[in-house]
Amino acid sequence: MSETNVETKSWKKVLKIVLNVFLWLFVAFAVVVTVLAFAAQRSADGIPTINGKCYLTVLSPSMSPTFKEGDLIVCKKLSVQGQTSLKEGDIISFHAMLDINGDGVAEDVINTHRVVAVEMSPDGSQAVRYTTRGDNNAMNDTGSVHYTDVVAKYTGTRFRGLGNFLSFLQQPKGFLIVIVLPLVLFFLYEVFVFIKTFLGIKNAGKKVISTADEELIKQKAVEEYLKQQAAQQAAQQAEEKPSDPSDPPKD
């Protein structure tokens, strides 16, 4: 076997391994995205929550440069105790009525801003309301946030630009294009590999005819065919040959 054939087979093996690793990483990613999508649907507030962690898409640049529009941030879901024990400097996610589309209609959305002031209860035992402001804003938010509207606290973990992608995947069209179709193709590829491997094992004990042997078989078949043709022509010529007058008459 030549060095070129050895190198070709080696590269094919490496490419096959890389392809398999990439495919299985994609499957793992698809599973995570699917879990997040179903978690958002099952959650009462529509927020993807897994093991006490919320995954939120940043919809505006109001908190830049802490995190930017389109980022995916990780927050900790808060209990009542957590809602009433926040401090200045904490970044919280809370329900707010905002006109996010610019059409004059306020909608209930999850907003994430920093706490700049805390209003305590009369006995000082717990926080009741929070004044918030975006790091990129010059003024505080209009109105304070009641502790019952607080959903989560920012953990400091973010994934740049992943929020827009996750939002697209949560739409039926995006989920179909990015997750479902590639998974179907992956499944078909694995079926093809399985069938190919199965046939290879099944035919392992059978003799493999090389190209040289195949050419030799063809050559022998042609020679045998030519011999048969020559024999038939000789027999035909013998039948058609006129009889010799000197031959004795037949009875």
Average pLDDT over the chain reads 80
**pLDDT digit string (tens) for 42-61?**
555 667 777 888 888 898 89
What pLDDT score was predicted for residue 7? 65
**pLDDT digit string (tens) for 35-46?**
766 665 555 566
Supply the CATH number for residue 132's domain: 2.10.109.10
Which pair of structure tokens corresponds to residue 238? Answer: 């013998």
CA distance 74 to 54: 6
Q: Cis before residue 61, ω within 30 degrees of 0?
A: no
Contacting residues for 182 by C-beta, under 8 A, at least 6 apart? 26, 30
Answer whether residue 241 shows pLDDT above 70: no
**pLDDT digit string (tens) for 81-119?**
999 999 999 999 999 887 666 677 778 888 999 999 999
Q: Which domain holds residue 184?
A: 3-41+176-202
Flag whether 140 is in a domain: yes
Flag whether 142 is in a domain: yes
Flag whether 23 is in a domain: yes
249 versus 15: which is more confidently predicted?
15
- Of 21, 22, 75, 31, nearest in space to 169 by CA: 31
Which pair of structure tokens corresponds to residue 175? Answer: 């989920």
What pLDDT score was predicted for residue 84? 95
Question: In one letter, which amino acid is 141?
Answer: D
**What does residue 126 show for φ and ψ, rounded to 5 degrees?**
-155, 160
What pLDDT score was predicted for residue 47? 74
- Please tell me whether residues 86 and 11 are part of one structural domain: no
Residue with tokens 């700049």: 116
What pLDDT score was predicted for residue 90? 97
Return the ∠ at Cα 175 (arms to 174 and 180), rounded to 5°: 125
Flag whether 226 is in a domain: no
Percentage of the chain lying above the pLDDT 70 cut = 80
**pLDDT digit string (tens) for 25-38?**
877 777 776 776 66
For the chain, what is the domain count?
Answer: 2
Q: What is the DSSP string of 209-239?
A: PPHHHHHHHHHHHHHHHHHHHHHHHHHHHHH
CA distance 166 to 74: 13
What pLDDT score was predicted for residue 230? 77
Output DSSP code: residue 148.
Answer: G
Residue with tokens 């802490």: 66
- Please tell me whether residues 21 and 116 are part of one structural domain: no
Flag whether 246 is in a domain: no
Answer whether residue 214 shows pLDDT above 90: no
Answer whether residue 80 shows pLDDT above 90: yes
91 versus 248: which is more confidently predicted?
91
What pLDDT score was predicted for residue 63? 95
pLDDT tier at 2 (50, 70, 90 boundaries)? low
203 versus 132: which is more confidently predicted?
132
Return the ∠ at Cα 166 (arms to 160 and 168), rounded to 5°: 120
- Please tell me whether residues 20 and 95 are part of one structural domain: no
Q: How far is CA 60 from CA 29, 63, 67, in A?
A: 26, 8, 10
What pLDDT score was predicted for residue 99? 66
- Please tell me whether residues 83 and 140 are part of one structural domain: yes
